[in-house]
Structure 1
Amino acid sequence: MTDAILHVAGLTRRFGSVLANDDVSLHVRPGDVVGLLGHNGAGKTTLVSQLVGLLRPHAGTIQIGETDAVADPAAARRHVALQPQAQAPIDGLTPRQAIELASRIRGLTARDSRAAATRLADELDLGPWLDRRALPEGGGLSGGIRRLTSFAMAVAAPMPLLVLDEPTNDIDAARRRLLWDAVRRRGDEGSGVLVVTHNVAEAERIVDDLVVLHHGRVVAAGSPARLRGTQDNDLRLDLQLQPDGQDPTAQPQTVPVTVRRRVRAGRRVLLTVPTAQAATAVTWATTLRDQEHIDGFALGPVTLEDTYLALTTQPRDTGSEHIQEASHV
């Protein structure tokens, strides 16, 4: 794929007997934001570590622009900006100093670095903390402000490829929205963006394509609409179970609607049902709630989260491939 800024093909990485990445292929084009989804341990950070040369794959290729990143990782890194999953080591610095330092390392002038710090502080609502010093052991700045500073350091100087590993960790809801908007903006400005996340609902709003990893393998890839597929005509019935965990849907024959898919995630049971049976589903769920078999319910459109849970869950021994138990949400 010659127009891709990042092209990964057949990437395989083992740790002893554990296959962390198993024949992974994906690509990111300039201007695209690609989400890499997967539960903890799916192999996302292992993949990122290979992209930036911190780990060497046992098989497969990584092409960043015109550079073979496996053969020459140092050259490839000149085209990549990374926000790692771990917090940036900024103790002793203010966010302004950290952003300016990252900008200078990437080749911006002192004047442009100062302008970048000011612009990013406005974009991410960092102003009140911009000149507050980070202290050892997490002092001085909260985890969320440190995380935003790390993102700002990664994007301060425009780069062809931007790799963000769980950029929203520790960030409050209001600033998460600002950050997601900032991620989308980098794509719109021409960078290829690979964003690692487990936040399916928020990522869906800004990505062009998604890659889902499960046990080290790509189990789905495509646009959010494509991954949802024909389920756009179905509805999701979300049942909130009682604390005792008794599940009134455990026996499929007792459910009075057609269940195309059932996923249990903790005290939630997600049922995919036909739109034509919405009234029956609501009547049944209302009865369950009134009889205190469930805490509550909600009926709405099928979302990408439903697809993601179905792709990353293990079928239970129930006689139906659509009855699944979530291993992680």
Structure 2
Amino acid sequence: MNDDVLRVDGLTRRFGDVVANDDVSLRVRPGAVVGLLGHNGAGKTTFVSQMVGLLRPDAGSVRLGGVDAVAEPATARRYVALQPQSQAPIDGLTPRSAIEMSGRIRGLSPSAARAAAESLADELDIGEWLDRRALPESRGLSGGIRRLTAFAMAVAAPTPLVILDEPTNDIDAARRRLLWQAVRRRGDAGAGVLLVTHNVAEAERIVDDLVVLHRGKVVAAGSPARLRGTTGSDLRLDLQFAPDAVDLEAADGGPLPFPTHRTVRSGRRVLLTVPTDAAAAAVTWAATLREREQIDGYALGPATLEDAYLALTSSGVDEPEPARTGTEAAHV
């Protein structure tokens, strides 16, 4: 039995000669939070637009709750709530009225919609602004409060699938934490969540699986631990090179005096993933480079998903760890 709330197979969308989505496959099960991760311009929002019938794919299939979303977009949309990347058009409304209206459209009774607005205001800490009217030209409510209101509108009434496109844009750090917790609660309560983001560090904290999109293609998929591609004890040596010494061997005159699992270059920044037992040698070497003023600074810490993400989406990579690609991505 297929219980996926979202299943996408071989999705392709072109704009003239530009292939925005190239044979993309993924699935979201009930209760799972799946992150769709990629740089700006990777094809994420184009992908989302096809999930809700705003764009028609050139090839491939989309099924929402078992319904063919390409053939029956109106029926399929009943299964999904979307928070788009753009701000919700709520000028003239208060957050309370916008959330209640969204809940009523989704079938809530007036009392249930009122209760949902109150509950979400508490959950997201926006009660102070609940009855403040949004005005044109971004007056009345800040961008962050508008963004949190849009999230509340999307989740006011339960749906099998929630799609969130860059939901934390403009939101302050404290309320971002509240929003991530709210997203995780929806997954734990049984909804499938597709979280579209380019924020690697924050996504890693709440997702069950990740799909990495790069130039329209799925380049890897799996759990954060799998994509990290390292043991739990691996460390990252982060080097900030001086402008005239951006090559590791040129900086030290020879090969590295310690083993590495992965090397990623991004501008003047170099990230080395090293085993724990090489930490002392790595720090001694980096300190020597710093004394010679061949690097501006360095830091040693736990290996992160960001390292793997940069390795997957950057051309300046040596010996990247293997990751699932192609048809394997369909089984996330």
1:1-329 alignment, distance < 5 Å: 2-242=2-242, 244=243, 246-247=245-246, 249=248, 251=250, 253-315=254-316, 320-321=318-319
8 Å CA contact 1:248–1:293 kept in 2: the answer is: no
State the SS of the aligned residue for 2:187.
Answer: helix
In 1, Cα distance between the equivalents of 2:268 and 2:110?
53
Secondary structure (helix, strand or coil) at the match of 2:190 reads coil
Cα root mean square deviation, aligned: 1.7
Contact (CA 8 Å) 1:35, 1:194: kept in 2 or not?
yes
On the 8 A contact 2:197/2:203 being kept in 1, the answer is yes
Residue 267 of structure 1: how far off its partner (Å): 4.3
Q: Is the 8 A contact 1:315 1:321 kept in 2?
A: no
Contact in 1 for aligned 2:229/2:308 (Cα 8 Å): no
**Which AA in structure 2 matches 1:68?**
D
1:93 Cα shift? 0.8
Instruction: Please state how far the C-alpha of 1:167 moved relative to its aligned partner.
Output: 0.3
CA deviation after TM superposition for structure 1 residue 230, in Å:
3.6
Give the Cα separation in 2 of the matches to 1:230 and 1:271: 12
**5+ residue gaps, structure 1:** 323-329
Matched pairs, number: 318
2:22 is paired with a residue of what secondary structure? Answer: strand
Aligned partner letter, 1:297: Y
Name the CA distance, whole Å, in 1 between partners of 2:4 and 2:181: 23
Structure 1's 313 and 250: CA in aligned 2 closer, same or farther, altered over 3 A? farther
Q: Contact conserved, 2:239 with 2:269, CA < 8 A, in 1?
A: yes
Q: d(CA) in 2 for partners of 1:150 and 1:183? A: 13
8 Å CA contact retained: 2:4, 2:29: yes
Please state how far the C-alpha of 1:246 moved relative to its aligned partner.
Answer: 3.8
Cα distance in 1 for residues equivalent to 2:86 and 2:283: 44
Deviation of 1:315 (Å): 3.8
Q: Structure 2: how far apart are the matches of 1:117 and 1:291?
A: 60
What is the TM-score of this pair, normalised by structure 1? 0.92
With 223-232 and 90-99 compared, the bigger mean Cα shift is at 223-232
Residue type matched to 2:298 in 1? F
C-alpha displacement of 1:321? 4.9
Q: Secondary structure at the match of 1:2?
A: coil
- What is the alpha-carbon distance in structure 2 between the residues aligned to residue 240 and residue 142 of structure 1? 36
CA contact (8 A) 2:261 2:319 kept: no
Matched-pair contact (CA < 8 Å) for 2:5–2:192? yes
Partner SS for 2:99:
helix
- Distance in structure 2 (CA, Å) of the matches to 1:175 and 1:31: 23
Give the superposition deviation at 1:277. Answer: 1.4
SS in 2 for 1:232: coil
Q: Secondary structure, in 3 states, of the residue corresponding to 1:168?
A: coil
For residues 249 and 174 of structure 1, the distance between their equivalents in structure 2, rounded to whole angstroms, comes to 39
Correspondence for 2:325: none
SS in structure 2 of the partner of residue 211 of structure 1: strand
Structure-2 separation of matches of 1:143 and 1:62: 32
For residues 94 and 316 of structure 2, what CA distance do their matches in structure 1 show? 49
With over 3 angstroms needed to count, the CA separation of the structure-2 counterparts of 1:64 and 1:291, relative to structure 1, is same
Unpaired segments of 5 or more residues in structure 2? 321-332
Following the alignment from structure 1 to structure 2, what is the Cα–Cα distance between the partners of residues 108 and 284?
A: 63
**Letter of the aligned partner of 1:18 in structure 2?**
V
Q: TM-score, normalised by structure 2?
A: 0.91
Following TM superposition, where does structure 1 have runs of at least 4 consecutive aligned residues deviating by more than 4 angstroms? none
In 2, the alpha carbon distance for the partners of 1:250 and 1:272 equals 16
